[in-house]
Amino acid sequence: MINEVQLCEVLEEQKSVLRQLIELYEYDFSEFNNNDVNQYGYYGYSYFDHYWLEPGRVPFFILVNGNLAGFILVNSFCYCLKEENSRSISEFFIMRKYRKQGVGIKAAHMVFNLMPGHWEVLQHPENHTSHHFWNRAIDSYTNGQFNIEAGETEDWVGQAILFKNSQLSKKD
C-alpha cells in the first residue's frame, strides 16, 4: 500500500544509485529507441554528470514509503519553448512495482509545484503509454490548460505538451 510519495534531490554522493536506476530506465526505453548495451553491458546516459555540473539541471529520486521507486530528471533545455524560466522533463521513470498506483502522477505534480514557470514534456512517438500518462497527469494538473505540439529532438519527432504553471492553483 502506498502511504507517502516524496521527491528528494539526488546528491552527488548518490550518483551511483541514480546511475543504476537510469540503466533500468534505458532498458525499458530500448524498445522505443532501439539502443543496445555497450561492450561492458551498460546503456549509459550521455548527460549524466551534467546534472551536477550545469545550472538548470536537477535530478530527483522518487520515494514511496521511504523506498526508491524511480527518478525525475529536470533541465532547462527545451526544444519547443523559448521563454525564460522554461523547464523540461528530460527523463521520468517509475519502477514497475509502483506503476498504475498514482505514484507517477503524484511525483509529476510535486516536481511541477517545486518549479513554477513554463514546462515542456516531450514524448517519443512509439511510447503510447507515455502519451496516455502525460496527457492524464498534465490535464489533471492544469485543468486542461495546456497545448500539444509536434516536438522534435535530434533523434525523433514526437509530441510536446506545453503549459505554464506559475498561475495555476497548486495541486497535491
Domain locations in the chain as residue ranges: 5-164
CA 163 to each of CA 72, 111, 117, 124, 166: distance values in angstroms, whole numbers, following the listed order: 18, 14, 8, 18, 9
Q: How many residues are present in the chain?
A: 172
Beta strands per DSSP E along the chain? 5-9, 58-64, 67-75, 86-94, 118-123, 147-152, 157-164
> Checking phi first, is residue 55 left (phi over 0); if not, alpha (psi -120 to 50) or beta?
beta
pLDDT at 168: 60
Rounded Cα distance, 118 and 41, in Å: 37
pLDDT at 54: 94
pLDDT at 125: 86
Choosing among 3.30.1310.10, 3.40.50.300, 3.40.50.150, 3.40.630.30, the CATH entry for 5-164 is 3.40.630.30
pLDDT value at 156 more than 90: no
Give 45-62 pLDDT, tens digit per residue: 888 999 999 999 999 999
Q: What is the mean pLDDT of the chain?
A: 91
